[in-house]
Amino acid sequence: MKKILGVLVLTIAALSITLGQEPEKPKPDTKPVPDQTKPVTEAKPVADQAKPVTEPTKPVPDQTKPVGETVATTPNAEQELIALDKSWGDAGLKGDSALLETILADDFIGNSPIGVATKAQNIAEAKTNAPNITNATYVADEYTVRFLDPNTAVMTHRAVEKGLNKGKEYNDQHRSMHVWVKRDGRWQVVASQATPIPQKSTP
């Protein structure tokens, strides 16, 4: 009986010890906590690649400048045209149809106070009037020549023609504008405008 009581006492004592022990506490999480004191880097905006790139503005050419002033020419070309024009005036007085054929272009058109004339009409008129003209002189001056391109030029000048027409004295003064074109290496006049200069009355 005493043995049984001793065993019971030992068993109860063991249970008391077991129940008296505190349960094992869970271990704290050892993962590092991020440092909240560091500033957060802001994301930079990405440029819109769909927007077109603006090209630099190109300068607008000055439209007030005459076109002819930008064409490089030589004094020889200008003098050649002036010489041809003076030959044209002399050929008209003399009715030199061969020279007029080379100076006037086939598509020539002339305008004057008496009307419009083609190449053929201009040459025919010169041949008709030449026999009636005597002691005549033709003087042209005040030339300006502007090249629109290396093969096109606009000419202006004054001209004074004096002489006898059927024995009667005449004095013709006018200003002219001609358009010259270089074709196959040869200058020809394609258009002409003549405007009379009013004569001052003698008191």
What is the structure's pLDDT at 65?
Answer: 46
Q: In this structure, are residues 163 and 170 in contact, taking their beta carbons and an 8 Å threshold?
A: yes
Beta bridge partners of 162: 137, 171
> How many other CB atoms are found less than 10 A from the CB of residue 137?
11
What is the distance between the alpha carbons of residues 34 and 22, in angstroms, rounded to a whole number? 34
Identify the segments of the chain with pLDDT beneath 50.
Answer: 5, 7, 15, 17-19, 22-23, 26, 40, 64-69
| E strands present in 18-132 | 104-112, 115-118
What is the structure's pLDDT at 75?
Answer: 77
Q: Which amino acid belongs to residue 176? A: S
Neighbouring residues of 67: CB distance < 8 A, sequence distance ≥ 6: 148
Say what the pTM is.
Answer: 0.63
What is the structure's pLDDT at 91?
Answer: 96
What is the distance between the alpha carbons of residues 74 and 45, in angstroms, rounded to a whole number? 62
What is the structure's pLDDT at 199?
Answer: 81
| Tokens of residue 141, six digits | 């001056």
Identify the structural domains of the chain with CATH numbers, from first to last: 69-196 (3.10.450.50)
What is the structure's pLDDT at 68?
Answer: 44
What is the structure's pLDDT at 118?
Answer: 97
Q: In this structure, are residues 176 and 156 in contact, taking their beta carbons and an 8 Å threshold?
A: yes
What is the structure's pLDDT at 32?
Answer: 54
- Residues 142, 146, 147, 151: is their CA dihedral positive or negative? negative
Q: Concatenated DSSP letters for 133-155?
A: EEEEEEEEEEEEEEEEETTEEEE
According to DSSP, residue 39 is labeled P
